[in-house]
Structure 1
């Protein structure tokens, strides 16, 4: 049985599409890059920004850093609150905690933003630890964040389950020797998640609750 549950943030606990894509639009506009429709930027949700700016717009070095700075300029004041908690997530977290699970957040988002978001939505107290990347770009890969949670809390990977909506969550869990569960109400498709190690793919928060509390 998994005693420790690690949750991704964007696309797993909250629907952050509006804030993240608006922040990307702001960044691209400031960089004088043609801006696509917000819906065409959803794939930015999950992976490290540095990688996405490099892959999509070939931004390297100082240009990449500047694009991230413009992103944060918008996100830190507006974007992080253009966000909403998925329905029934607070109840799920409460029930899991009451059932004896220890809960953690493992996100590639800078931890300072993750804390602000979780504080804003009054979710912080459900979690033993909120782990993420640093503003200097360190610990931005999901595998590194998961490893940090394990080491800081002296957890056994065999007792842990990573819950997330993108392939990075499943890959990061596998690299750390733990099971992973993919959720389909976020931003990763079934086709994406099915290609990586997982114990289940879950379509709704209600089904996630049933899986975790009746397994």
Structure 2
């Protein structure tokens, strides 16, 4: 298994659902908009504007941006503090770092709350790089594009790296960049039976360290 490990964040290392879902509700209430879908953890994963458009049932860019501003204000000040760590993840990350694995974060989450969460958890120093879709301007169009940029920036051949994530989109991003992929079962994504036949999907965090 490669020593260069790329980790998704939400649904893989952290359970951000409590803070995110509470903040969705607050942002919608501030805008006077009722959600058109249940506010549950199945929403988490895609970029913020995509989720807000879906839960509000609105495609108007101005309204979605207003909701996004409300969300950012609430989440960046207090919502992120409700973040939980999945069992065994902290120990696994520290074990991998101490064994010499070079680790990166690649996330659809905005970089500002990402950095605040990692700092809160005392994880920042464990990673060689922390990258989000909005780490550059203009923002990356997809996680696949983000990973492509990261590999070029750090001169990493795709076959020398592995992506660990919880969604089919993560698996696709790895595939598009020639990376190995390891799925985790405890996150927000669900892998279809036909996809599962071709994937390694782990049921506990300790298995990451054993495999990597």
Please confirm whether the aligned pair reaches a TM-score higher than 0.5, indicating the same fold: yes
RMSD: 2.3
With the length of structure 1 as denominator, give the TM-score of the two structures: 0.88
Work out whether residues 168 and 191 of structure 2, in 8 Å CA contact, stay in contact via their aligned partners in 1: no
Gap runs ≥5 in structure 2: none
Q: How many positions carry a matched residue from both structures?
A: 210
Alignment of 1:131-210 (within 5 A): 131-134=131-134, 138-139=139-140, 141-191=142-192, 195=195, 199-210=199-210
State the Cα deviation string for residues 106-139 of structure 1 (Å, max 9, x = none).
0011112111110110011110000002287712
SS at match of 1:109: coil
State the Cα deviation string for residues 27-68 of structure 1 (Å, max 9, x = none).
22122222479x643122111112223344233311111111
Structure with the bigger RCO (C-alpha within 8 Å, sep 6+) is: 2
Displacement over 6 Å in runs of 4+: none
Alignment of 1:1-215 (within 5 A): 1-35=1-35, 40-56=39-55, 57-134=57-134, 138-139=139-140, 141-191=142-192, 195=195, 199-212=199-212
SS at match of 2:109: strand
Cα distance in 1 for residues equivalent to 2:104 and 2:139: 19
Cα distance in 2 for residues equivalent to 1:14 and 1:75: 15
Mark the CA change 1:167 to 1:60 in structure 2 (over 3 Å): closer, same or farther. farther
Greater mean alpha carbon deviation, residues 18-27 or residues 202-211: 202-211
Mark the CA change 1:186 to 1:35 in structure 2 (over 3 Å): closer, same or farther. same
SS at match of 2:140: coil
Work out whether residues 76 and 113 of structure 2, in 8 Å CA contact, stay in contact via their aligned partners in 1: yes
State the Cα deviation string for residues 158-215 of structure 1 (Å, max 9, x = none).
11111111222111111212121111111112438x6379641111112223222xxx
Gap runs ≥5 in structure 1: none
Cα distance in 2 for residues equivalent to 1:62 and 1:19: 24
Cα distance in 1 for residues equivalent to 2:138 and 2:169: 17
Mark the CA change 1:72 to 1:140 in structure 2 (over 3 Å): closer, same or farther. farther
